Amino acid sequence: MLTRDYIEDLIHMRLPQEAVRAELARLAPETLDDSELTSIIEAVESCLAVDTTALSEAGAEAIDCCGTGGSSLHHFNTSTATAFVLAAAEVKVAKFGNQAASGACGSFDFLRALGFTTEVAPSVAATVLKETGIVFMYAPAFYPVLRQFTAVRKSIAARTVFNFIGPLLNPARPAYRLLGVSDRHMQSLIAQHLRKSGTTRQALIVTAANGLDEIDAAGTTKIQRVVGKEIFYESFQPANNAADCAQLPMLHVEASVQIFSRLLSGQDTKSYYYQLLTVNAGAAFFTCRKTASIAAGIELAGELLRSGAVLHTLDKVRRSHVGFSH
């Protein structure tokens, strides 16, 4: 087990580069334990660059929807697309993310391709959330210490502990979370961590049977539902299974944007991507108690897409965020 001092040295890059690389590779999700996870999170949180008191107050009614990555399966930026569906229903969204490390397209790669060309400054993130109902927070802007791990994470070219702690570092401390995890062991560790957080009202920690880090539209998904300090173990099977995603092509950012555009315009109401988006948005609506069930949330998501409300919300959010950017 790693000592707290060693973890501090690792986070602050006081170890040789090769030692950092070896340690990150060793801290594979299947070997990490609860104590190490907590110590690493606390070490990074101690490096928070700004006072986030107002942001955490604003996050008391918000949801974050995100995935850890690392599934090696091909899908588009479901969680970021879901954020716009939620915002279209006037759900407060505090989305925390980064650029891709081990995958092809991270949340901020996707946002930039959608026209969000600059990040919201951490100092005004709380104001953005309060005034617009949605904020996209760039992880390295809040935790500059994370920037120094970019190159070494890419050199490993596999999921690391940073894939899994990233969503847990959200400085808004959102009360609600839909969190996709690509490893069953880490799913349990993260559920336990959120159970002890003191700020979680409800969270769905989801892992699909095929390892997808979100609710699968083509098969069974295991759910650990955190409600306060309790954890409930559930499964979800969509009513209408989509085609299996195993044969889908690898998507880069331009292809993801094209898929999202077809979903927003109503050109696509049947594909695997449509079902992936509506089922995950439906789960998010249930998580934040906008709907009484995932099924009702799926219906609401479909209505919002068909009506053009999500397209309108994307345009509105893009315009409103310009005034708050660097």
Where do the domains of the chain lie, and which CATH numbers do they carry? 47-322 (3.40.1030.10)
Between residues 270 and 284, the one the model is more confident about: 284
- pLDDT tens, position by position, 69-121: 766 665 688 999 999 999 999 999 999 988 765 555 678 889 999 999 878 99
The pLDDT value given to residue 158: 72
The pLDDT value given to residue 326: 47
Share of the chain above pLDDT 70, in %: 91
- Cβ burial of 288 (10 Å; 0-12, 13-18, 19+) is buried
- pLDDT tens, position by position, 177-214: 999 999 999 999 999 999 999 999 999 999 999 888 99
CA atoms within 13 A on the CB side of 27: 24
- pLDDT tens, position by position, 139-149: 999 999 888 88
What distance in Å separates the CA atoms of residue 193 and residue 200, rounded to the nearest whole number? 10
Torsion of Cα atoms, 276 then 279 then 284 then 290, to 10°? 150
- Cβ burial of 249 (10 Å; 0-12, 13-18, 19+) is exposed
Residue 19 clears pLDDT 60, i.e. is over it? yes
Q: Taking the model in full, what pTM does it have? A: 0.92
